[in-house]
Chain A
Amino acid sequence: QSALTQPRSVSGSPGQSVTISCTGTSSDVGLYNYVSWYQHHPGRAPTLLIYDVSERPSGVPDRFSGSRSDNTASLTISGLQVEDEAEYYCCAYAGSYVPFVFGTGSQVSVL
């Protein structure tokens, strides 16, 4: 099972919107409604941002939103803030053989 493909880096100015793509296959991203996104600041525990493609856990700002089109999921950060500078990972459920596959990770920089 190959890792999901994400852009290596994404950048934007404070207040702007950025979108991170996560490309998989019809056996993972495109098949199950189980795509999740995680924010990871260095030295800290990763945190769940989005689950079930587009659902936000309580406490996650509504600036973070998720979507999917065919085999590509996306995370959009609206109103970019300095504290959003972090690594972001997508993850998809891929069935019974290798249940979970992560994305390659995207570094978000706030210019």
Chain B
Amino acid sequence: QVHLQESGPGLVRPSQTLSLSCAVSGDSMSSPDYYWNWIRQPPGKGLEWIGYIYSNGNTYFNPSLKSRLSMSVDTSRSQFSLRLNSVTAADAAVYYCVRGIIVHRDFDSWGQGALVTVSS
């Protein structure tokens, strides 16, 4: 049973960089069957797909965030990370790290979520 756990600062200043990490346990990140996603949910709103990264480091981002977004993966440490630059209040959300199964284009395992507030 795979387990994902987000970590990172809960408060980010406007215009600064939001950085989150996701620790993966219970399964190998190196499998070609999976992609590793970030999905967020702003307060009172629905889910928004942010982007994913493969174990080889290839990424795919939501075009609406692409210019501010980067992701990295370290399979030897079983973790992947998100960096979102120049944040505004609109970036405040619960951020989930999520494993996806490529062949099904779905999201089969989710972390508990990390609440990020954007405020000065």
Contact = CB atoms under 8 A, between A and B. Distances in A.
Interface of A: 3, 32, 34, 36, 38, 44-48, 51-52, 55, 57, 89, 91, 93, 97-105
Q: Which of B105, B108, B112 has the most CB of A within 10 A?
A: B105
Contact of A89 (B47, B60, B112): B47
Given A44-B112, A45-B113, A101 B104 contact: no
A91 B107 CA distance: 9
Contact of B48 (A47, A48, A93, A102): A102
Contacts, number: 60
B112 A45 contact: yes
Interface in B97-120: 101, 104-113
A67 to B, nearest CB: 16
Contacts of B62: 98
Given A52-B104, A93-B105, A105-B46, 17 more contacts: A34-B104, A34-B105, A38-B47, A45-B112, A45-B113, A46-B47, A46-B96, A48-B106, A51-B101, A51-B104, A51-B106, A52-B106, A55-B104, A89-B46, A91-B47, A102-B48, A104-B46
B4 to A, nearest CB: 8
B63 interface: yes
Contacts of A44: 112
Q: Which of A99, A100, A101 has the most CB of B within 10 A?
A: A100
Nearest to A37: B106
B34 to A, nearest CB: 13
13 contacts: A34-B104, A36-B105, A36-B106, A36-B107, A38-B47, A45-B96, A45-B110, A45-B111, A46-B107, A48-B106, A55-B104, A98-B63, A100-B49
